[in-house]
Each structure stands twice: as structure tokens, then as C-alpha cells.
Amino acid sequence: MYEEKRKHNKIWYKYNEFMFRVQAIDDENSVIWLNYRFKNPAFSMVMRDFLNRMEEYRIPIKVNSIWNKHKGFEVKNADVKLLIGEIINFCAENDVESMVSKDIYLRDEWYE
């Protein structure tokens, strides 16, 4: 995974076909949005018990839609990279191709 871009309180990361938009929302928390081929599989991840799995791992997260109503995962700043790793693992185990939804990112929107 490498950092693509940094602007104000946002950092964009890329790992193969996965892209992540991380936005700090305060001193303690950030929201991570997942982009797989400009589609957002977050809703399908929730339906497949991603939140419960993170609770089992003692990574407290919640769904947050503050950015253009796209679903993202709010997490403590200290857990951002850990959660990104768990998102990648979960998508690999659960066939990310079958999880893509109608929630589509516009190319210009992703880097705003």
C-alpha cells in the first residue's frame, strides 16, 4: 500500500485495485472510504457481518456517511492502517467482485 495524495485533512492510499480515502474528522477519529474500481462495497461488507468481525477483533468502528452520502467506516486514528488491512483481507475472503454496489464514485469526486 502506498500513499497517493495528501490534502488538508485527507489522505488517499492505493493497494492494487483498492483505493482508500481517509479523512480525519477530529483529533481522535477518521473515516475510511473504500473504492474498488470506483465502486463502494461498504454496504455489502456490512451485510456480510464486517462490523461484527471487527467487534470480535476489538476494533471499534461504525458506519459514517458524512461525505456525499457514501458509506465509510469511522475508526480511531490509531487504527486506520489496521482497519485498511482488515478491509483488504475481508474483501479477499468474500469475493469483492460480488460485493460491489450501486454506490459509485465519480472520478472527479474521489479526489475532492
Average pLDDT value for residue range 24-29: 97
Write out pLDDT tens, residues 27-36.
999 999 999 9
Report the C-alpha gap between 71 and 64 in whole angstroms: 6
Kindly report the backbone phi and psi dihedral angles of residue 64, in degrees, each rounded to the nearest multiple of 5, phi listed first. -140, 130
The residues facing 19 across adjacent strands are: 14, 35
**What would the grid cell of residue 59 be?**
476494533
Residues pairing with 73 in the sheet: 32, 63
Q: Which CATH class is domain 2-110?
A: alpha beta
* Whether pLDDT at 99 is above 90: no
Beta-ladder partners of 7: 10
Tens digit of each residue's pLDDT (9 = 90 or more) over 54-67 = 999 999 999 999 99
Domain regions of the chain by residue span: 2-110
What is residue 38's predicted lDDT score, i.e. its pLDDT? 95
pLDDT at 19 over 90: yes
Could you write out the DSSP letters of every residue in 27-53?
Answer: SSEEEEEEEETTB--HHHHHHTTHHHH
